[in-house]
Amino acid sequence: MDPFSSPSPLDSSSGQSAASAEALMDQLKNQLAQAYAEEFFEVQRQLSIYVLNFTRQTIRSKCFAKCITKPGTSLSGSESSCISRCVDRYIEATGIISRALFSSPR
């Protein structure tokens, strides 16, 4: 038998250590991907909260300034309908802008 044709014990152990190193690298890659995904979703959640609060504050200030001429303890019928229309328009405009941003080619 040719000494080059059969694997030596060293080749076998180095193959095993290479396989275990590769398995360890795969495990580390998976853990890192999981950590990145969790961080991404947390940042996305925080950003969504910020955008929601910003939108809410913007609607309040814009629609209040436009519709409430004499602040009191309750809304008049015209103030109530003005606020309703103002909020509807703002939500519609936000939807149009969002669709335009997400549908445009990059």
* 34-93 pLDDT tens trace: 999 999 999 989 988 998 888 889 888 999 999 998 888 999 999 999 999 999 999 999
pLDDT tens per residue, range 19-47: 888 999 999 999 999 999 999 999 989 98
What tokens were used for 5? 């044709």
Would you say domain 9-103 falls under CATH 1.10.287.810?
yes
Please indicate, yes or no, whether the overall pTM of this predicted structure exceeds 0.85. no
